[in-house]
Structure 1
Amino acid sequence: MAHEHERSRAAGVLAFGYVPHKPDVSRTWGRLAAAAQLRGRPRPMNDMWIAVTCIACGASWHDAVHRTAIANRCMSYGAAGACSPLPCPLHAGTALYDLDVNQGESLCLCTLCRDYGDTEERSPADLTTIEHVQQHGWSVMMVPADDQGPGWAYTIGLWHSYRMPEVAIFGLEMAMSHECLNNLGAATRDGTPLEVEQARADVIERYAVQLKLVSQGWHRAFFGQTIDFYRRTPIPFLQVVWPDRHGRFPWEPHSDEQVRTFQPQLWQSPKDHPVGVWTQDL
């Protein structure tokens, strides 16, 4: 019933009246959702229903983009390499992922984009984070190691500033973690996108790292300040996975024990992750 309601809402926006369910609507939605997930930029489910309905109900491609901000946001999955381009169903030869729409209109509900009326209640740490995001585009939150386990660090602000996933790194010294995430933030600011399964040689000297999509079930355990900043979950997160001294990653045979124990496997769902130090806060 929720899907029928959203389809009707989309059609109303475009003055087409009620649009009954059609299989091609569901198929288009599925392909959009998969592409967004692979790219590390998932979108709200109902927003995508509105977007694909605008296309399927007979609106021109650009009319659907310009007459609804929601459709505009959802048609911005375009990114080279995420998956094969999805042709516009109304304009043969036009690739959905190649259209230059969006222009920064993706939904952001963070404390900089919305007035929640609680500015005076924010802690000095919160205000410092906001200042860093305003000045630099992102901030780095660090959680030092303690007797409970290794530390980690993660960004706040990449989604707000660049509509790119936030990134997190685990098990390194805090100074190195801070440098690694700042390297990724600076590259993002300068135009290098953050992509799922991306190998990056610009993070740690002499070693490549790999970016893995974090399963949503881990967000509250590790990224509480990011959730507080955006006032919602999930914001897409990528884990920066580092290799051992021989360049072997945790999932590869014969990788060092340290590289496997000092980093969680957040690309797995919590229920599939080995029980241990990384699952204690779930």
Structure 2
Amino acid sequence: MNTDHTHDCPTSDELMDTTKINIEKYGLQVMGISSTDYSPSFSYSVGLYESHQHPEIICFGLPTNLAHVIINDVADLIKNGDRIVPHQEYYDKIFKESRAQFLPVNPKNIKDYFYVALNYYQHDNFSALQLVWTDRNDKFPWEDGFEEKFIYDQPLLDRNADFKFREAKNLGIFTTRQWLDHNRPILRV
């Protein structure tokens, strides 16, 4: 099996140069992070804090190209003088015929999700809002009846600062005596 993969990823310096150019030209850069087997995709802005004195925007669980467009649409609202208000419902303004809400990101979560923004600003003293979307029944993740299928697509960054795993906090596990007593590796699961 060939495990060689070629990536067309920019270097850190190239990424920072592109970020600076886009912020100067458009007022922001949108970063898209693809999903993995464990983590949902997410996209976030860099530059709104500097260019418009507005919190950065992050959105989880949508295809990165769609999230990119949506964050740019939100940025256009901000550029036109709107201020995004946390915990306010936005109906039909972000998503057609659907509700959206923005939650303040707990500062403890900034370092885990805003890598390029941290490098750009050279500090973590900026605020961010998480754009949260509803399921097919127009329910938010915290509402009764939210589709379980989507529960891990949007980690809520206003509240999950100390436990950042998909599993429940009280999940039980089994292990072996060899691991606990003799520090032997687990070779088969």
So what's the TM-score if we normalise by structure 1?
0.53
Q: Secondary structure at the match of 1:244?
A: coil
**What is the aligned partner in structure 2 of residue 132 from structure 1?**
22
Q: Which has the larger radius of gyration?
A: 1
Q: How does 1:8-47 map to 2 (within 5 A)?
A: none
Q: State the alpha-carbon separation in 2 of the partners of residues 266 and 234 from structure 1.
A: 16
Paired AA for residue 154 in structure 1? Y
Q: Deviations over 1:199-255 (max 9, x none)?
A: 223222221210000111111111111111111113101000000111100000011
Q: How many correspondences in the alignment?
A: 157
Q: How does 1:218-233 map to 2 (within 5 A)?
A: 218-233=109-124
Q: By how many angstroms is 1:269 displaced?
A: 4.3
Q: By how many angstroms is 1:126 displaced?
A: 1.1
Gaps in structure 2 of 5+ consecutive residues: 1-10, 170-189
Could you list the structure 1 runs, at least 4 aligned residues long, displaced by more than 3 angstroms after superposition.
Answer: none
Paired AA for residue 243 in structure 1? T
Q: By how many angstroms is 1:198 displaced?
A: 2.4
Is 1:156 the equivalent of 2:46? yes
The structure richer in strand per residue is 2
Is 1:178 the equivalent of 2:68? yes
The structure richer in helix per residue is 1
Gaps in structure 1 of 5+ consecutive residues: 1-120
Instruction: Provide the aligned C-alpha RMSD in A.
Output: 1.9
Q: How does 1:101-250 map to 2 (within 5 A)?
A: 123-200=13-90, 201-250=92-141
Q: State the alpha-carbon separation in 1 of the partners of residues 164 and 19 from structure 2.
A: 33
So what's the TM-score if we normalise by structure 2?
0.77
What is the percentage of aligned positions where both structures have the same residue?
A: 24
Q: By how many angstroms is 1:197 displaced?
A: 1.0
Q: Secondary structure at the match of 1:241?
A: strand
Q: State the alpha-carbon separation in 1 of the partners of residues 49 and 20 from structure 2.
A: 13
Contact persistence 2:152–2:166 (CA under 8 A): no
Higher relative contact order (CA 8 A, sep 6+): 2
